[in-house]
């Protein structure tokens, strides 16, 4: 595991864009695993700038996102599809047909999960997976549990996650209670992982995840056994 601690969010975002950008240059039709949340927004801003100045070409890139709320369709401004469109896809030359976000509207979410994992396998697997981290150590929406989750599946959100994400909604009652997320197995199969953490409030859980025991009570701790993880963090 390589850990890069930066002095600013801007530096974190620039280095993250260097790594994701290098992947796109090395393999123009790579599969990017993407994340939502406030942390990767600076990374996406950098990727947009590099696409606009001609440094990066997304025309052959494929993408898969980690997760989606249940019950929100892509036109809902709190859905993760909407987030990805507005923060990245609408501003780079990626073919929207090549961008994938699990559907939280599927009638059969177990079947949707199986299809999503099969789709990732058909794409050839994820070359680099971007991750943020929740205050309870969740990645994607894999919440603390008594076992590590496997494939893409439906989850009930923890009260602490609902509370943390309420800032994006009109009221806490509007936050969906469940989501569909890539499981830990789906995430761990990515060839490379880029974990981003920003803010003083993330330091405690990051210390647990990176240096504490590997336990499903801190889902991100499983990353300790992945062979190719880069962490970029800024605790200021
Ligand atoms: C949500 C997302 C996660 C994200 C987390 C942290 O719960 N499902 O993928 O990592 O929020 O978000 P933030 O980066 O805003 O702290």
Q: What is the pLDDT of residues 99-153, one digit of tens each?
A: 999 999 999 999 999 999 999 999 999 999 999 999 999 999 999 999 999 999 9
pLDDT digit string, tens, across residues 146-190: 999 999 999 999 999 999 999 999 999 999 999 999 999 999 999
**Residue 227 pLDDT level (bands cut at 50, 70, 90):** very high
Ligand 1 centroid vs 35 CA: distance in angstroms? 8
Please say if 77 is a catalytic residue.
no
Enumerate the H helices of the chain as residue ranges: 9-26, 41-52, 80-87, 109-122, 159-165, 184-188, 203-211
User: 151: buried, middle or exposed (CB in 10 Å: 19+, 13-18, 0-12)?
Assistant: middle
Predicted local confidence at residue 193, as pLDDT: 98
- pLDDT score, position 208: 98
Ligand 1 proximity of 83 Cβ (cutoff 6 Å): no
- How does pLDDT run across 7-58, given as a tens digit for each residue? 999 999 999 999 999 999 999 999 999 999 999 999 999 999 999 999 999 9
153 is an active site residue: no
Per-residue model confidence (pLDDT) at position 15: 98
Q: Could you tell me what percent of the chain has a pLDDT over 90?
A: 100
pLDDT for res 60: 98
> Mean pLDDT, to the nearest integer, of 179-208?
98
Whole-number Å distance between alpha carbons of 130 and 46: 14
**C-alpha to C-alpha distance for 185 and 150, rounded to whole angstroms:** 5
Residues 105, 91, 55, CA angle at the centre, nearest 5°? 130
For the chain, how many residues are written?
Answer: 236
Q: Is 143 a catalytic residue?
A: yes
Judge contact between 168 and 146, C-beta under 8 A.
Answer: no
| 132 CA → ligand 1 middle, Å | 6
Domains of the chain with bracketed CATH: 2-234 (3.40.50.1360)
How far apart, in whole angstroms, are the C-alpha atoms of residue 27 and residue 21?
10
Q: What is the mean pLDDT of residues 62-72?
A: 98
Q: Is 132 in the pocket of ligand 1 (CB under 6 A)?
A: yes
**Ligand 1 center to 48 CA (angstroms):** 21
Q: Is 122 a catalytic residue?
A: no
Structure tokens at 87: 């923060």
Q: DSSP 3-state assignment of 44? A: helix
Q: Whose CA is nearest to atom 3 of ligand 1?
A: 140
Average pLDDT, the chain: 97
């Amino acid at each position: 595991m390589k850990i890069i601690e930066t002095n600013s969010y801007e530096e974190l975002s620039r280095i993250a864009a260097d790594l994701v950008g290098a992947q796109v240059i090395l393999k123009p039709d790579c599969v990017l695993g993407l994340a939502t949340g406030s942390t990767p927004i600076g990374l996406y801003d950098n990727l947009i700038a590099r696409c606009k100045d001609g440094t990066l070409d997304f025309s052959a890139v494929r993408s898969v996102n980690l997760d989606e709320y249940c019950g929100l369709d892509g036109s809902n401004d709190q859905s993760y599809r909407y987030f990805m469109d507005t923060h990245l896809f609408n501003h780079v030359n990626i073919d929207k047909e090549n961008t994938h976000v699990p559907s939280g509207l599927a009638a059969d979410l177990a079947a949707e999960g199986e299809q999503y994992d099969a789709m990732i396998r058909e794409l050839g697997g994820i070359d680099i997976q971007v991750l943020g981290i929740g205050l309870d150590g969740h990645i994607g929406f894999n919440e603390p549990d008594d076992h590590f989750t496997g494939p893409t599946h439906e989850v009930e959100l923890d009260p602490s996650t609902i509370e943390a994400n309420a800032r994006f909604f009109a009221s806490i009652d509007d936050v969906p209670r469940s989501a569909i997320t890539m499981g830990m197995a789906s995430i761990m199969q990515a060839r490379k992982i880029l974990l981003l953490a920003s803010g003083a409030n993330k330091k405690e859980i990051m210390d647990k995840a990176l240096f504490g025991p590997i336990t499903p009570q801190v889902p991100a701790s499983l990353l300790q056994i992945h062979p190719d993880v880069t962490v970029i963090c800024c605790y200021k």
